[in-house]
Amino acid sequence: MKATATEVKNRFGEFLERAIREPVEVQRSGRRVAVLLSADEYERLSALEDRYWGEQAREAAKTAYLGSQQTVEAIETLLDKPGPDEQAEQ
C-alpha cells in the first residue's frame, strides 16, 4: 500500500494498524521515503540479515580471513612500508 507523508501524518493510527497487515510505503513528492512495517516483519528481516552476515563471516573465516591480532600486525607492517611518493624521493 502507498500513502503520502501528509496522509500518514494525519491518520497515523490507521496506518499503524494497516502496517500490521502489510508494509505501507510512504511517499513525499512522489518518491518513496519510508516504509512502515509491523514489528514482527521487522524482527523477521533483522534475523534474516543476521543469518546472512553470519554466513558471510563463516565463509570469510574459511578463506583469507585474518584474526584480530593478525589484522593489527598486517596494518602495522603496511604502515611501516614507504608509500609510492616516499619511494620516489629515495
How many domains is the chain built from? 2
Short-list 79, 75, 4, CA closest to 36: 4
More confident residue, 69 or 86: 69
In a domain, residue 17? The reply is: yes
Per-residue confidence (pLDDT) for residue 83, from 0 to 100: 65
More confident residue, 60 or 22: 22
Pairing of strands 24-28, 2-4: parallel
Short-list 12, 47, 39, 43, CA closest to 26: 12
| Calpha distance 70→63 (Å, rounded) | 14
Containing structural domain, residue 65: 41-80
| Residue in the structure block whose three cell numbers are 500500500 | 1
* Same domain, residue pair 74 and 57: yes
DSSP annotation of 46 reads H
Residues 4/28, Cβ–Cβ less than 8 Å: yes
5-54 pLDDT, tens per residue? 999 999 999 999 999 999 999 999 999 999 999 999 999 999 999 999 99
* Same domain, residue pair 45 and 74: yes
Phi, psi of 75 (to 5 degrees): -65, -45
More confident residue, 71 or 81: 71
* Same domain, residue pair 51 and 67: yes
DSSP annotation of 81 reads S
Residue 88 clears pLDDT 60, i.e. is over it: no
In a domain, residue 28? The reply is: yes
* Same domain, residue pair 51 and 25: no
In a domain, residue 27? The reply is: yes
Residues 23/35, Cβ–Cβ less than 8 Å: yes
